[in-house]
Amino acid sequence: MELELWRRVQRESFSKISDAADFLELDEENRGRLLERPSFPFLLPKRIAIKIDKNNLNGPLARQFLPLKDELIGGQGFVADPTCDSSFKKEGKILHKYDGRLLLITTGACAMHCRYCFRQNFSYPEGGGFFAKEIEYIKNDPSIHEVILSGGDPLSLSDMMLENLLESLSAIPHLQIIRFHTRFPIGIPERISLRFLEILKNSLKQIVFIIHANHFDEFDADILSSLKQVQSLGIPILLQTVLLKGINDDLQTLKDLFLGLSSNGILPYYLHRLDPVIGTSHFYLSKEQGSFLIDELRKFLPGYAVPRFVQEIPHAPYKTLL
Average pLDDT for the chain: 94
Whether pLDDT at 10 is above 80: no
User: What type of residue is 251?
Assistant: L
> Exposure pattern of 61-99 as b/e (b: 16+ CB <10 Å)?
bbbbbbbbebbeeeeeebeebbbebeebeeebbbbbbee
Please give the angle made by the CA atoms of 219, 155 and 121, to the nearest 5 degrees.
Answer: 95
Contact 88, 78 (CB under 8 A): no
Q: Is residue 75 predicted with pLDDT exceeding 70?
A: yes
DSSP codes joined into one string, 296-311: HHHHHS-GGGSPEEEE
Q: Which domains does the chain have, with CATH numbers?
A: 3-72 (no CATH), 85-321 (3.20.20.70)
Integer-rounded Cα radius of gyration of the chain = 19
Total residues belonging to the chain: 322
- How high is the pLDDT of residue 23? 97
Residues 221-241 pLDDT 10s: 999 999 999 999 999 999 999
pLDDT tens digit sequence for 202-215: 999 999 999 999 99
Whether the per-residue pLDDT at 5 is higher than 70: the answer is: no
Report the DSSP beta bridge partners of residue 239.
Answer: 211, 268
Tell me how far apart the alpha carbons of residues 227 and 225 are, in angstroms, rounded to a whole number.
5
- pLDDT tens digits, 160-174: 999 999 999 999 999
Nearest to 312 by CA among 89, 101, 152, 81: 81
Average pLDDT over residues 120-144: 88
What single letter denotes the amino acid at residue 270? Y
